[in-house]
Structure 1
Amino acid sequence: MLKRLKEKSNDEKIRNTMNKRVSFVFGLIVFIFAIVVLRLGYLQIAQGSHYKQQIKNSENITVNESVPRGRILDRNGKVIVDNASKMSITYTRGKKTSQDEVLTTARKLSKLIHMKTDQITDRDKQDYWIQKHPNKSKAMMKHEQSLLDDGSISQEQYDATLHKKITSKQLNSLTDKDLQVLAIYREMMSGSTLNPQTIKNDGVTKKEYAAVSQKLTQLPGVNTSMDWDRKYPYGDTLRGVLGDVSTSKEGIPKELTDKYLSKGYSRNDRVGKSYLEYQYEDILKGKKKEMKYTTDKSGDIINSKVVNPGSRGDDLVLSIDIDLQRKTEKYLKEQISKLRGEGAKNMDNALMVVQNPNNGDILAMVGKQIHKDGSMTDYDIGTFTSQYAVGSSVKGGTLLAGYQNNAIKVGEKMVDEPLKFAGGLQKHSYFNQDGKVTINDKQALMHSSNVYMFKTALKIAGHPYMPNMNLPSDITVAGQKLRKGLNQVGLGVKTGIDLPNETSGQIEPLNNNPGNYLDLAIGQYDTYTPMQLSQYVSTIANNGYRIQPHIGLEIRNATNQDTLGPVKQKIKGNVLNKVNNTKAQINEVQQGFKMVFNEVPGTGYESFHNTDVPSAGKTGTAEVFQDGKPRVNSTYIGYAPINNPKLAFSIVYTNQPVPEPWLNGGDVGKDIINDYFKNKEK
């Protein structure tokens, strides 16, 4: 009996133990199942949209297929920059495509096209030799392989040693056929996965294009398409200002990488890299094609679908009149030749800006750099990127500053006479070097009186002229007042033109240098750009409004035809400021400018007194040095007609011979006025 009870007790113990184990296993299964359910719920509910987007991103790829840029046209709809199509051969590498597979395709392709090999580097050759001779490469690296295996060296150190061991003789063993394959291979490997990379788009022959097209099924990833290049129907006209676009091989220039990558560009995108192409990149760039790729388990592409076909960029219409631009260039070149024939053999720059003074439209901007032999290089960008001492052209701004600071009044008379200061310093006007002539402010502009401007500057400083006076020791405040007046008309500050790299000129310190302060009043100290001169004379012409110049005029929607699409945006010149002068004060300067061009002995009379429509303006001569020898810069600013100005201009010639003889370069301004209004009437 006891034995039977004992056996029963043991059975119960075993049964209880088994029940506990089963319960534990069951509980563990329930626990794991609960975790799985919770995890699935979390993935579906909390992270579902995230993973859906990841799947979408891995399938929908914005491919780097070249899309034509928008065109650039002049204000009359004439195409200045267009796109020329050309045949292209591209390669799209799959996510899991191996280097050996790429190399195999490159070998096949090398039998169909010819590549230039001048861009192949020694490193390219080393990499190719290693891939072509894997067994020899391993044999050369037995010792290093053992060091790599035991962790004594890194993979980078191993690779560096291998490249160093490859000799010139081994590299020279590569045949022309090898180099052809290598040239193709390096292009195929330079692109990112699932993004078409251009293999060849320059000089693709019809035979090559046809041969590749016929073999596409045997060339995985290779495709034939149409690429484009910028073309310029007007040749070199305005070429510098138009700017450049990077090539497909160049991609994003190194100095612009951060800027463009932050905007979502790919490294091998073609982008505007200078001037107009750069300034209006967001407008001119096209919208890239978007593809949806389907891949198998191994990552190979088995299907593709165009989600968005992409489109070319919008068109940019300029304020430039291309016919006026070409005529201005023609007239300026003729004037340069004339001046050189009269003795200006060292003149090295000639620049001109033509604009509408009422809205900031730049109608023409021409620059020429002149070489010793008389040949010329286009320097249109110099109109806003280079600065010069401009001389008496600034005197209208000096008078306005004098009025603003209550230093002089409208119509005020002063005696033009040689000025003598303590310490022996003497200053005088060019037209009156030893006499005394009483003149008013308008006459001071007509005669280009230095003395009137000197006396005005001294009054601004609170030290009216007296013979043998000491010049003020500290002219910091006076310099600020005079410069503020000049700034208001556009001198010494950036104009705000819609082009990169504009300079504000060279503005030197003014504190304990009163002689330089006097020179500032006659344009002999600070330096200005031709664009600033044009903005300045426009401000006087339009009754005191400093307007931002602009070369862009309209943005037009892209169309599939060569016609212009509807206006998407108009580009207007903003009013930057109004001068702090009364209407009477501005009118006084206008009347002085009228006398400069239309009365004897006005300094601009010779060229401008008989323009087809009445014109007004100012001339200037600045003393400069070239290679240690004295020269002069000659400047001309003006507008027409006098009563309702529609056209303003500035002209700068640098390093002309010191008068005499006086070399008159104003005729190009007269030619432009006559030509412009003659065509406007037509």
Structure 2
Amino acid sequence: MKPNALLKKKPKKKRSQLPIRLNILFAFVFLIFSLLIVQLGIVQILNGEEAQREINETANTPTEKAVPRGKMYDSNYDLILDNEPVKAITYTPPKNGESAEDLLTLAEELAAYITIIKDEEELTESISERDKKEYWYLENRDTVADRLTKDEKALDSSEQYKVELKKITQKDLDKIDWTTDLLNVIAIKKELASAYELSPHIVVNEGLTDEEYAKVAENLYHLDGINAMIDWERKNMYENTISSFIGGISTSEQGIPRDNSQYYLSNGYTWNDRVGESGLEQEYEHVLRGRKEKINYTTNADGNVISSEVVVEGQRGKDLVLTTDMEFQQEVDKIVKEELETAIHNSASNNGYLKDALAVVMNPQTGDILAMSGFRYDRETNEFMNQAYRTVYDAHEPGSSIKGATLLAGYQEGVVGIGSTLVDAPIKIKGSKSFSSHGASMGSISDLTAIERSSNVYMAKIAIKIGNGVYRQNEPLNINVQETFDTMRNYYSQFGLGVKTGIDLPYEATGLTGIPSTENLMHLAIGQYDTYTTLQLAQYVSTIANDGYRMKPRLVKEIREPSAEGDTPGKIIQSLEPEVLNRVEMDQTYIERVQEGFRRVYAGSRGTARGQWAGFPYEMAGKTGTAEKPQFKMINDEPVQVADTDNLALIGYTPLDEPEVAFAIMVPENGTGNGRHQIHHAIGKRIIKTYYEMKDNQQTEEDEE
């Protein structure tokens, strides 16, 4: 082998080299990533706050949807107040609101399917001149802008808009053909504009036809914010019976009360929520409202809703069980109305003033309201209107019916005792008119006789003695009138006279109090000065019947869960126990003495109620009352008495031991004469007879079962 052959080198392999184009590509990719990193840094450092705002705008936004309110049942668990499903078209505005132009466009689209006001005359009246100007403005914005002066263009947007509307003339409006279709569009736009962001607002439910509802439901995909849903309306199963105490709720247009909006908003309400405005609907709003359905809306950066999710299922409001038997309530209504009609049309003359009859029936041991009824006669329409609310809101002088409280005040103050006798003869104080009892003077009479025969003088002398006055005929009376008034009113208030009874309603009147004077003091003692409601009189007589314990009147006795069946309440949540407001500051012996006096009013040989109640099959106790109510007219700027009329009152309870029903009847401005004096007795007798008859029938049914 040749040495040179061993030394010969092997050929070298070629080093692989990347194509130059691939290097350029790598460099380009690197550059792009570098730019992205720089851009992210800029976004984070310079635009972080703006980016976070964008994120927030696309976050979930919670809102709530109203549910049906709780129902009401009577004491026998018969349904009184229900919810009736009603088809409705609603609008939920986006988070950032809609422009006026967008609302008009949506209204035009929606108007192709619905007419929110069917009556053309009503529709025309609902559209104001301003509504027409706002429409004209949207259609002719540039034209209006050209009419502004330089200074007007410098105004802020709201002020400038006001000026622009003023620039629109009647001539401008006359150029538009205001057809029914166009007015419907404007009416829809007004409804859309009244909605609050992310709060469903009812555009129309009343008068919405099935066809309209179906058309909207089929076209929801292009009607942003519009929904076809089921709304709820209240349905009173007994029409007007105690409707004024059931109360009412606001409409979706009214929403929550604006003067107390912060309270409602802080308690989870939205602006368009319907709430109780009166009666039990208002008093028990927190119970009846239920648990609203909670929905999360997802919105994009423009504020438009892109999706929604129910996160909390809604639950209908809790149910109320009332103390009233609706069958008995209806009978009491019938009695009061019929007797008022008889008194008005079956008498020679009542001077044209009689128009009202009021009655309250309650259980004196529990405070349960068994019935509250009131009717007013409208002489112009010749109609009798159910206005039971007057038993709580209207106050009148009740006459002698309060003499039981006056006598008890005398006992407790020590100015008279059991069996004390005083002379019933006209009282004549210097400078005052003569004061006497009705009819002839009674002479020397006892406390029981004073109640039985209704002595005005006996009660007036009690008031004078409470004031440490010494009566001498035709001489002035030295007495601290204000202090005596305060003492008397303090005793009356312990029975519920002149103060709130505590009934579970949002409002009740307490009556009027006058200016103290010696003459007025004597009238105060016989119920012819301060005024009281029929409910206060019922609480007063119930307190005496209940041995001095004043019970809080109540219309609701139970709160219950909604039931699956719907017509009957669910399980009990809370039983509202009877509540004692106070025990009058008087010896039990005194109360029993007045109870005996009240018994004699109905059953005594000279009792003021005996003539009307003789032979009545049930034992009764109570008191009659007649308060003079002169009528005046202004003649030559001076009040001139033109007629005499009386307020008639009757209070009572039964049976004497363990009384279970008490009543107060007030017939204000009843005219004069014996013919009219029978109406309150007629009402009272029929109410008590009905009560016992229904009780006996119920017992019979229970025995048969």
TM-score by length of 1: 0.87
Q: 1:288 offset after TM fit, Å?
A: 2.2
What residue number does 1:5 align with? none
What residue number does 2:579 align with? 574
Q: 1:424 offset after TM fit, Å?
A: 6.6
Q: 1:493 offset after TM fit, Å?
A: 1.3
What residue number does 2:138 align with? 131
Aligned equivalents of 1:61 and 1:641: distance in 2?
A: 59
Is the deviation greater in 92-101 or in 545-554?
92-101
Of 613, 634, 637, which aligns to 2:651?
A: 637
Question: Residues 603-622 of structure 1: matches in 2 within 5 Å?
Answer: 603-622=608-627
Change (3 A) 1:58 1:439: farther
Amino acid at match of 2:597: G
What residue number does 2:22 align with? none
| Cα contact 1:593–1:617 (8 A) shared by 2 | yes
| Cα contact 1:339–1:663 (8 A) shared by 2 | no
Change (3 A) 1:294 1:482: closer
Change (3 A) 1:624 1:95: same
Three-state SS of the structure 1 residue aligned to 2:198 is coil
| Cα contact 1:287–1:313 (8 A) shared by 2 | yes
| Cα contact 1:346–1:655 (8 A) shared by 2 | yes
Q: 1:544 offset after TM fit, Å?
A: 0.4
| Cα contact 1:315–1:556 (8 A) shared by 2 | yes
Q: 1:522 offset after TM fit, Å?
A: 0.6
Aligned equivalents of 1:110 and 1:421: distance in 2?
A: 80
Deviations along 1:620-663, one digit per CA (max 9) or x if unpaired, are 00011223322110100000011220000000011112235562
Aligned equivalents of 1:483 and 1:236: distance in 2?
A: 36
What residue number does 1:107 align with? 108
Question: Residues 521-532 of structure 1: matches in 2 within 5 Å?
Answer: 521-532=525-536
Q: 1:516 offset after TM fit, Å?
A: 0.7
What residue number does 1:429 align with? 437
Amino acid at match of 1:496: G
Aligned equivalents of 2:371 and 2:470: distance in 1?
A: 43
Tell me if 1:597 matches 2:602: yes
Q: 1:310 offset after TM fit, Å?
A: 1.4
Deviations along 1:576-613, one digit per CA (max 9) or x if unpaired, are 11112112111110000000011222111133343332
Aligned equivalents of 2:583 and 2:432: distance in 1?
A: 41
Aligned equivalents of 1:283 and 1:588: distance in 2?
A: 44
Change (3 A) 1:584 1:327: same
Q: 1:549 offset after TM fit, Å?
A: 0.8
Change (3 A) 1:660 1:203: closer
Of 670, 673, 677, which aligns to 2:688?
A: 673
| Cα contact 2:467–2:480 (8 A) shared by 1 | no
Of 278, 294, 300, which aligns to 1:290?
A: 294
Aligned equivalents of 2:611 and 2:411: distance in 1?
A: 30
Three-state SS of the structure 1 residue aligned to 2:207 is coil
Q: 1:423 offset after TM fit, Å?
A: 4.4
Change (3 A) 1:472 1:369: farther
Three-state SS of the structure 2 residue aligned to 1:292 is strand
What residue number does 1:646 align with? 660
Of 208, 223, 239, which aligns to 2:227?
A: 223
| Cα contact 1:352–1:366 (8 A) shared by 2 | yes
Question: Residues 124-203 of structure 1: matches in 2 within 5 Å?
Answer: 124-141=131-148, 143-144=149-150, 148=153, 152-172=154-174, 173-176=176-179, 177-203=181-207
Tell me if 1:408 matches 2:416: yes
Is the deviation greater in 666-675 or in 108-117?
108-117
Aligned equivalents of 1:121 and 1:170: distance in 2?
A: 15
Of 260, 275, 283, which aligns to 1:271?
A: 275
Is the deviation greater in 456-465 or in 320-329?
456-465
Give unmatched runs, 5+ long, in structure 2.
1-40, 118-122, 633-640, 698-705
Q: 1:55 offset after TM fit, Å?
A: 5.7
Change (3 A) 1:139 1:462: closer
| Cα contact 2:471–2:477 (8 A) shared by 1 | no
| Cα contact 1:62–1:288 (8 A) shared by 2 | no
Amino acid at match of 1:579: V
Aligned equivalents of 1:409 and 1:89: distance in 2?
A: 73
Q: 1:365 offset after TM fit, Å?
A: 0.6
Aligned equivalents of 2:492 and 2:589: distance in 1?
A: 18
Change (3 A) 1:254 1:122: farther
Question: Residues 531-546 of structure 1: matches in 2 within 5 Å?
Answer: 531-546=535-550
Amino acid at match of 1:366: S
Q: 1:217 offset after TM fit, Å?
A: 1.5
Deviations along 1:305-364, one digit per CA (max 9) or x if unpaired, are 111231221111211221111111111112112222123342122110000001111111
Of 246, 257, 261, which aligns to 1:257?
A: 261
Amino acid at match of 1:378: N
Three-state SS of the structure 2 residue aligned to 1:663 is helix
Amino acid at match of 1:499: L
Amino acid at match of 1:657: G
Aligned equivalents of 2:126 and 2:428: distance in 1?
A: 69
Three-state SS of the structure 2 residue aligned to 1:420 is coil
Amino acid at match of 1:232: N
What residue number does 2:629 align with? 624
What residue number does 2:15 align with? none
Aligned equivalents of 1:322 and 1:678: distance in 2?
A: 15
What residue number does 2:403 align with? 395
What residue number does 2:457 align with? 451
What residue number does 2:511 align with? 505
| Cα contact 1:431–1:447 (8 A) shared by 2 | no
Aligned residues: 627
Change (3 A) 1:597 1:107: same
Deviations along 1:216-247, one digit per CA (max 9) or x if unpaired, are 22222221111111111111111222221111
Aligned equivalents of 1:57 and 1:329: distance in 2?
A: 59
Q: 1:103 offset after TM fit, Å?
A: 3.0
Quick one: percent identity of the two aligned structures? Answer: 37
What residue number does 2:211 align with? 207
Three-state SS of the structure 2 residue aligned to 1:540 is helix
Of 110, 116, 120, which aligns to 2:127?
A: 120
| Cα contact 1:384–1:531 (8 A) shared by 2 | yes
Tell me if 1:479 matches 2:482: no
Change (3 A) 1:299 1:254: closer
| Cα contact 1:546–1:579 (8 A) shared by 2 | yes
Amino acid at match of 1:444: A
| Cα contact 1:61–1:291 (8 A) shared by 2 | yes
Change (3 A) 1:418 1:294: closer
Aligned equivalents of 2:522 and 2:324: distance in 1?
A: 38
Amino acid at match of 2:650: Y
Of 351, 364, 373, which aligns to 2:371?
A: 364
Is the deviation greater in 496-505 or in 416-425?
416-425
Change (3 A) 1:185 1:372: closer
What residue number does 1:441 align with? 447
Aligned equivalents of 1:482 and 1:57: distance in 2?
A: 69
Aligned equivalents of 1:441 and 1:427: distance in 2?
A: 19
Aligned equivalents of 1:97 and 1:591: distance in 2?
A: 73
Aligned equivalents of 2:234 and 2:582: distance in 1?
A: 38
Q: 1:174 offset after TM fit, Å?
A: 4.7
Change (3 A) 1:248 1:610: same
Q: 1:389 offset after TM fit, Å?
A: 0.6
Deviations along 1:20-67, one digit per CA (max 9) or x if unpaired, are xxxxxxxxxxxxx9xx99xx9xx9xxxxxxx99x9699524223x342
Is the deviation greater in 468-477 or in 492-501?
468-477
Change (3 A) 1:471 1:147: closer
Three-state SS of the structure 2 residue aligned to 1:419 is coil
Q: 1:258 offset after TM fit, Å?
A: 4.5
Amino acid at match of 1:443: T
| Cα contact 1:530–1:651 (8 A) shared by 2 | yes
Deviations along 1:50-87, one digit per CA (max 9) or x if unpaired, are x99x9699524223x34211112211112222111111
Deviations along 1:487-519, one digit per CA (max 9) or x if unpaired, are 111211111111122111111232xx1111111
Q: 1:417 offset after TM fit, Å?
A: 2.1
